[in-house]
Amino acid sequence: MRNSRKTISRVVAIGSAMVLAAGVATPTAQAATLAGSGSTAIKNLLDICIPKFNSQYGHTVSYAGGGSGAGRTAFNNGTVDFAMSDATYAATAAQPTGKFVYVPLTQFPLALIVKLDGVTNIQLSPATVAGIFAGQITKWNDAKIVADNTPVTTSKVKGKTVTTKGKAPKLPDTAITVWYRSDSSGSTNILTSWMSATATSVWASPRAINSTFATAFGGTVPAGTFQGASGSDGVANGVASKNGSIGYAETSYGTERKLLLAKVQNNNGEFVAPSAKATATFINGFAAGANGAITIDYTAKVEGGYTIAGYTYGLGFNASAGKSTVKQAIVQNFFSYVLNDCATSSAENAGYAPLTGKLKDLAEAQILQIK
């Protein structure tokens, strides 16, 4: 085994195969420079992890962001040593088939970030979210939004369940400005996948699942009331710049700008705030498909779960790609560091959820295929 790999510390079983799980990384004898690009959703976490990794192990790892789609393209073209993506390659997309692995490294809630002056709490059902992003709901005092935010209590009266509605909130007659990712984005793929599964009557043909919002929209995106921006930073900056705005990004992009994080109704009828804990509650139980990719059932009923959630995958080359063994050993080491060290210690504070249990075992097995 190369001396740049992590010291093997334990053995875990996945299915019928036995794989070695990574323990504590050891410095490599030969320092190297690595470049990566892709998901901006994970960038805030990598901005914590990369300086620590470089300092501890003497390498120079850089990460440019740019969006999941750009990262997958650069990885396929061989212009980066690794990529990060919140979505897998589409079946018809150019990709290094048979020459790479997906490594789930962290899971995160995709937050609906809102700027609405005078409002301190906002709740949205899947149908309402889809209506907003479809351009069908255009004011913050729309009846559907008011209904989502009207308190409801249930009680038993003579053995029967009685539902009582409280006082409807007074929401402002403010126009909604929708901020969406203008680049090819794993976050857009997550949002449109979720809407397609949970709001089937609203996000229906010609609307679709896609990493590019303009394509997923299925028609001409309305000018003015819809604004495109590149990267999670761009969307969050756009939302923060105009009252009445809504967009989608990883939670830290919202909290950094003191934006509202909408509570989203899950499949149990609960309105749940986006958090690392609520995300892990919802998606920790899902199993992997081919090559480490994970399919999420957004319709699953999980008490306390936040459902607009996804994974960021590290994309690494396997032996069939014929890449530098020195660099590949460092990619392996870096992914292990993010999974086992940095994500464990820093993820939750930055709004991400570390992987645990079988999902972590899967990630460790995938890392060992990077060569």
How far is the CA of 210 from the CAs of 206, 294, 367, in angstroms?
A: 12, 17, 28
- State the Cα–Cα distance between residues 204 and 209, nearest whole angstrom: 10
Query: Would you give per-residue pLDDT tens digits along the chain (371 residues)?
Result: 334 333 323 222 233 232 333 343 444 547 889 999 999 999 999 999 999 999 999 999 999 999 999 999 999 999 999 999 999 999 889 999 999 999 999 999 999 999 999 999 999 999 999 999 999 999 999 999 999 999 987 767 777 776 777 888 899 999 999 999 999 999 999 999 999 999 999 999 999 999 999 999 999 999 999 999 999 999 999 999 999 999 999 999 999 999 999 999 999 999 999 999 999 999 877 767 789 999 899 999 999 999 999 999 999 999 999 999 999 999 999 999 999 999 888 888 888 989 988 889 999 999 999 99
CA distance linking residue 276 with residue 256, whole number of Å: 16
Neighbours of 196 (CB within 10 A): 20
Task: Enumerate residues 6+ apart whose C-beta is below 8 A from 348.
Answer: 276, 277, 354
| 190 neighbors 86 (Cβ within 8 angstroms) | yes
Distance CA 308, CA 279 (A): 8
* Domains recognised in the chain with CATH numbers: 8-109+287-295+310-367 (3.40.190.10), 111-276 (3.40.190.10)
Region for residue 92 given its phi and psi (left: phi exceeds 0; alpha: psi -120 to 50; beta: otherwise): alpha
Answer for the pair 99, 78: CB distance below 8 angstroms, yes or no.
no
The conformation of residue 348, written as its DSSP 8-state character, comes to G
Q: Is the pTM higher than 0.95?
A: no
CA–CA distance from 170 to each of 11, 141, 270, 279 (Å)? 58, 8, 21, 30
Q: Is 261 helix (H, G, I), strand (E, B) or coil?
A: strand
